Amino acid sequence: MNEVNKRNQDTWKPLGPVYDPSVSSIDEGNSIYIEGQCEGEPVLTLILRRYDWPQSTLREEWESGRFAYRDPDIQMDPGERWIAEAPAAGEISGRVVFVGGLWSHPTFRRKQLPVLSIALMRSISLATWRPDFAIGMIETGPMTRALLPLYGYPPIQPGMMIVGGWRTFESNLIWETPNMLTEHVLNSLIGPDQPDQRNRRDEGIRRARAPR
């Protein structure tokens, strides 16, 4: 996914360290990369990363830098701060699946592929890891209005911030419990959202290795 990101910087902001195996503990055992292709070229990406926090919370992992870095004391930039003011961040713990890296090529953004990928994310999360929570971060501003409907309007709270480092920005925390994930999956079975039928021959989604 990192390679796809670098090739599409005109429509996709640089990915954070959470997806970089050189500084983060992401690997094949705790991540699943989903890529949609058209004629052999990536047009959709999404990644699921599992965290196990039996004695910790999202707030502790985020603010310590462990959410993204293998060794925060060494790998974080001087002055870099991760701030978790969303109240739910102090309650999210256990087995947690972080959903991120959602991108689609501009040509395909009106073909409902992101909706399909989110539905696939829920099914894979439940079948593979049975998480206590599935979470995501949506940057505040226009991205919130654009992406929140794709996720089916889950609970949302502001206050997840990064200052310095690779990029300074503020995001909203969204989350779902197993019951919420299951309800969305069942609802999609009743009335699935399908990609544009004219493109079914050349659209595909595959599971790949951890991001490079």
Q: What is the dihedral of CA 117, 66, 176, 154, to 10 degrees?
A: -80
Per DSSP, 198 falls in state: G
C-alpha to C-alpha distances, 193 to 63, 71, 87, 172, nearest whole angstrom: 37, 41, 33, 25
Q: Where are the beta strands (DSSP E) in the chain?
A: 31-38, 41-53, 81-84, 94-104, 133-139, 156-163, 169-176, 203-208
Q: In this predicted model, which residue has the larger pLDDT, 100 or 115?
A: 100
When pLDDT is averaged across residues 61-73 and rounded to a whole number, the result is 97
What mean pLDDT is predicted for residues 173-192? 85
What's the CA gap between 19 and 100, in Å, rounded?
9
What confidence category does residue 33 fall into, taking pLDDT thresholds of 50, 70 and 90? very high
- Looking from the CA of 139 toward its CB, the CA atoms found within 13 Å total 13
Digit-coded pLDDT (tens) for 193-203: 444 443 343 34
pTM value?
Answer: 0.84
**DSSP 3-state assignment of 151?**
coil
- For 75-85, how does the pLDDT look when each residue is reduced to its tens digit (9 = 90+)? 999 999 999 99
Provide the pLDDT for residue 190. Answer: 65
Q: For residue 209, what pLDDT is reported?
A: 39
Q: Nearest Cα to 112, choosing from 206, 195, 205, 201?
A: 195
